[in-house]
Structure 1
């Protein structure tokens, strides 16, 4: 057990514990940032200084509820034919042929925003907004008409050169205090066409740099200083700048909304799986700290304890986060042309009882001691609750994340075998 948790359980040297909190917590968070704001971290540190366990519980509980219930509204702007609908489908994990996907190739003629809910997370909505080339586009009134205040950030898509209207719109979004991201789509098509037309002199990196330089120069000329351009293909979220775009969005979202966006990341690379694991691990640690603080009060562990039904629910939730739920596995098996059983055969996280089973004499003795300590409270009860909420959940998380990597490897092998 690490030094910070040991100090917390001992209840000694509270000032030192408080001063160590922020440096220690910084080692827990993902490279894309924390799910806690700096203000919240300071509140926890002050509660530690005062030795107020109930304050720690309250701050953490409120923060976790904010992270779990945070809504996310993403505005996507682009003219018809730029790949806007395909981009929305990619972020929602849907193909153009699946039910509920955004219509690809539809012609825009009116100023009408269209919402698309994420199929797994109902609190996440992608808004398809008309592009700047529509007859009704007026930069002065556009943002008010689409109710700009309702969106967390804006993504402006183009499949060629960004035009003056798009530059003006980007500036107005910035003036309103919102973030915008310029996305150059269909770079895979550009590369294909370039290779076909110039097979002997074709160099992928040189073509991509030319596209980027062209966009940067064009935007600078029409009034967007130091623009950030993300080159993407809607058909491969692991290639070009798609991973960089997702990580940038995570970093620049408000802290309490990062957890929601992190859950949307598909397990298309080991880096994405690890990033999602880090966010969930941070949340587990916070839940454990809250549980440990609660365990200092008599009978509280019996009221809020992490029992078997809660553990099984937790495991299923993690499986859903990483695309290992039954629905997802069935879809993957169908796409790969293999049986679901073949996929499941090598996975360890699908057997709940195998993960939690421990019939040893020591384990049974610990259960008896836990029952006694839960009634009396104090440090022994804290240790038990911390173990149950942290180490068991961490065991589930690691098992599921490792299985997600195995599934990724199997998927890559099957795809490679078809080529």
Structure 2
């Protein structure tokens, strides 16, 4: 039994219950923040202090539903040819030639603002706005678009020296009180060109700093503390792409952070751990709510979990970590290997081995659960928590470890090709 939850269940002091919950929850929050807003936390603590566990359970449920259903609209803007469409494809985890990808080419491809929902999480939409600097461009193409209140934030894409177009966009967004992030793309091309033109004096870090400084100096005329992210749309693990994604997560409202975290590609083990922590946080809150409801007689008995539901949830965790069937197929195709080789690295594919427990203790627990679900109170809470929490925690840990092994395989095969 999770000691934090058990302490909450055992104690009758309302203030102590609130303190235990807050303390337990804080240990689960990842470095980029939790998925409960401050408003929700206050309501939960107030429910404890008033001795109204049903209100606590209802607020947890409301907050979780809000996190799962939160909509997010991201506007990607910039001069034509800056790599906006490629950038959107990376954020959506889609290849530039994949079905549903944003059009990419050497000539202007985006002529009107186009929505691109995330393929797995359709509540998150990336808007590709038409670029400036082409014959078809209007004098002030973003004058009206920048004021669109539907966008949560803007990402300004630039692929060359800071231009008047970049300054115009930043200024207009700033005037509207909107949040924006300045992203300088194609830095890999800049490094390549510099290395070829100045082979003896070339220094990678010096070139990157020069690019960053050029953008910062100009942005500082518009915003007080500018930040610039240097990225490559074809080398997303390098440069500032991971830093950009972590910054976006930290800046998002808590209720929108959960889905945004699930969008994270498996760029590194640290990203996998971030995702694991967030999914575990949601699981803990779900189990906590189940334990509270278990104090109400008959409620747990009416809300049991079937094996089919567990199996569905396991597949959902695999999807969250980019290991669903479609993703595995895409990984195998990108690496030029078989799907079977990828599946051989995964232990979460054997559902029966994860849920199988024919021991005498397990059978006793099943009987006890049936009895206590009728009477409610502490014993029932304990069994409900065990039922909801530990099996799913095992799922999450197993899938997360699978994701790390697959990531290691991807890096191994790619590094082998480069030799």
> Structure 1, residues 250-300: CA drift from partner, whole Å, max 9, x if none?
111111111111111111211111111111111111101111111111111
Query: Quick one: structure 1 residues 109 and 322, their matched pair in 2 at CA, closer, same or farther if it must change by over 3 Å?
Result: closer
Task: Give me the TM-score of the superposition, normalised by structure 2.
Answer: 0.95
Task: Judge conservation of contact 1:80–1:105 (CA < 8 Å) in 2.
Answer: no
CA–CA distance in 2 between the matches of 1:99 and 1:133?
A: 28
> Structure 1, residues 123-153: CA drift from partner, whole Å, max 9, x if none?
11110112343531427xx353466211111
Matched, 1:136 2:150: no
Partner in structure 1 of residue 380 of structure 2: 381
> Structure 1, residues 309-360: CA drift from partner, whole Å, max 9, x if none?
2211110100011111111112212222222222222321111110000001
Query: Quick one: structure 1 residues 166 and 393, their matched pair in 2 at CA, closer, same or farther if it must change by over 3 Å?
Result: same
> Structure 1, residues 170-212: CA drift from partner, whole Å, max 9, x if none?
2332332321000000011111111111222222111111111
Partner in structure 1 of residue 176 of structure 2: 176
Counting matched residue pairs gives: 416
Query: Quick one: structure 1 residues 171 and 23, their matched pair in 2 at CA, closer, same or farther if it must change by over 3 Å?
Result: farther
Query: Quick one: structure 1 residues 185 and 110, their matched pair in 2 at CA, closer, same or farther if it must change by over 3 Å?
Result: closer
Which has the larger displacement, 324-333 or 226-235? 324-333
Distance apart, 1:6 and its partner CA: 2.0
Which aligned segments of 4 or more residues in structure 1 are displaced greater than 6 angstroms? none
Matched, 1:409 2:411: no
1:11-410 residue pairs with structure 2 within 5 A?
Answer: 11-105=11-105, 107-108=107-108, 112-133=112-133, 135-138=137-140, 142-145=142-145, 148-221=148-221, 223-410=222-409
Task: Judge conservation of contact 1:288–1:386 (CA < 8 Å) in 2.
Answer: yes
CA–CA distance in 2 between the matches of 1:199 and 1:307?
A: 65
Distance apart, 1:375 and its partner CA: 1.5
Distance apart, 1:240 and its partner CA: 0.7
- Secondary structure of 2:55's aligned partner: helix
Matched, 1:9 2:28: no
CA–CA distance in 1 between the matches of 2:17 and 2:139?
A: 57
Task: Give me the TM-score of the superposition, normalised by structure 1.
Answer: 0.95
Distance apart, 1:233 and its partner CA: 0.5
Task: Judge conservation of contact 2:80–2:132 (CA < 8 Å) in 1.
Answer: no
Supply the RMSD in Å over aligned alpha carbons. Answer: 1.8
CA–CA distance in 2 between the matches of 1:124 and 1:404?
A: 23
- Secondary structure of 1:150's aligned partner: coil
Task: Judge conservation of contact 1:161–1:218 (CA < 8 Å) in 2.
Answer: no
Unaligned residue ranges in structure 1 (runs of 5+): none
CA–CA distance in 2 between the matches of 1:3 and 1:145?
A: 51
Task: Judge conservation of contact 1:129–1:146 (CA < 8 Å) in 2.
Answer: no
Unaligned residue ranges in structure 2 (runs of 5+): none
